[in-house]
Structure 1
Amino acid sequence: MESIVAGVPMICWPRQSDQQVHSRREELVNAADEKRKLAIKSVGEGGSSYCNFDRLIGDIYKMNEKPCMPSGTNEYVVDKH
């Protein structure tokens, strides 16, 4: 860690578990970057999450337009007797 912070290059030989992780680093970074791009695209305008949320809001507005009560209104009538 000290060599990284100091900017000193080191020549090292990977041992045991280090080799597997470090050899796949670029693959893991690329996969994570691809997931990040997909997530940004999904929530952006025209993306699947954006469209689904927009559709949900539209459905809620439509539910509000229909009368819910037998009286034909959306208001509750309270009997005060």
Structure 2
Amino acid sequence: MPAELESGTKERGYIVDWVSQEEVLAHKSVGGFLTHCGWNSTLESIVSGLPMICWPNLGDQQIVSRTVCQKWKIGLQLNVNCNRSNIESMIRTLMGPKKEEIQSSMDAISKLARDSVAKGGSSHNNLEQLIEYIRNLRHHN
């Protein structure tokens, strides 16, 4: 790591080798998530209830970003060719004028996601059914 990066962030940040993204997203001081919109990161953000600033790059990230921003309305879309000023503007928008609208949508979708993986939820039940199906296959062979 360049020494100037380390010294330039020493007073306002903390550099570590690795940290759990889920733990960072769940921290009360985090108010949003700048993401490339990979599906796992998107789900982690939803479960944490964090609005997203979407900066997709490859593959399905464009589709996920459109879904997050246009259909679910839980994020804001960055242009591919953005700069520091664009990112700052999006953060200010996410934390300011659009905050209540986006957070309201996020709260509803986050609850659906958490409910689906809880005991008795659709995702939990589907996984239980798959496990039972595999167990039955083993007993029939």
Calculate the TM-score normalised by the size of structure 1. 0.54
- Is residue 36 of structure 1 aligned with residue 110 of structure 2? yes
Q: 2: distance between equivalents of 1:50 and 1:29?
A: 26
Q: Which runs of 4+ in 1 moved over 2 A?
A: 21-24
Residues 16-64 of structure 1, C-alpha deviations (whole Å, 9 max, x = no match)? x67xx33321010111111111111000011110000000000001000
- Structure 2 residue runs of 5 or longer lacking an equivalent are 1-88
2:140 is matched by which residue type in structure 1? K
Q: Which has the higher strand share?
A: 2
- Structure 1 residue runs of 5 or longer lacking an equivalent are 1-16, 68-81
* Structure with larger Rg: 1
| Identity %, equivalent residues | 35
Calculate the TM-score normalised by the size of structure 2. 0.32
2:126 is matched by which residue type in structure 1? N
Alignment partner of 2:98 out of 13, 16, 24: 24
SS in 2 for 1:23: coil
RMSD over equivalenced CA pairs, Å? 1.9
What is the total number of aligned residue pairs between the two structures? 50
Map of 1:14 onto structure 2: none
